[in-house]
């Protein structure tokens, strides 16, 4: 298992840089990861990140369709907020493992 340092804290990550221990996540860490991913976080971003973390913690599968039905943000906005690979970027910034639906 690898570690990476964000905001002065060493966190456990896999070979792709996704957290293996989501409890190590903080908002300060999220801001540093977002900067690496080219995303400037707003309050709306943090709403999405909290939604993803809550879904993950409850054992629910994460999907783009679920984001659209979340009531937090629609799919078009989600893609604008996390351009390129939105679910991959969002879950990495949220400090949770990459969903199985992401290749």
Can you name the residues that pair with 4 across neighbouring β-strands? 11
Two tokens at 20?
A: 């293996």
Q: What is the tens place of the pLDDT at every residue in 42-86?
A: 999 999 999 999 999 999 888 889 999 999 999 999 999 999 889
Residue extents of the structural domains in the chain = 26-94
Q: What is the tens place of the pLDDT at every residue in 6-54?
A: 999 999 999 999 999 999 999 999 999 999 999 999 999 999 999 999 9
Which candidate, 43, 25, 35, places its Cα nearest to that of 97? 25
**Among this protein's residues, is 102 annotated catalytic?**
yes
pTM for the structure as a whole: 0.92
Q: Give 37: exposed, middle or buried? Use CB within 10 Å, 0-12, 13-18, 19+.
A: middle
Out of 31, 41, 85, 102, the active site residue is 102
């Amino acid at each position: 298992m690898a570690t990476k340092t964000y905001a002065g804290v060493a966190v456990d990550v896999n070979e792709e840089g996704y957290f293996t221990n989501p409890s190590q996540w903080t908002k300060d860490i999220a801001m540093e990861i977002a900067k690496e991913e080219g995303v400037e976080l707003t309050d709306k971003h943090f709403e999405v990140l909290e939604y993803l973390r809550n879904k993950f913690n409850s054992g629910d599968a994460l999907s783009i369709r679920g984001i659209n039905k979340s009531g937090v943000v629609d799919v078009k906005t989600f893609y604008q907020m996390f351009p390129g690979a939105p679910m991959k970027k969002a879950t990495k910034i949220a400090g949770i493992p990459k969903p199985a639906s992401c290749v």
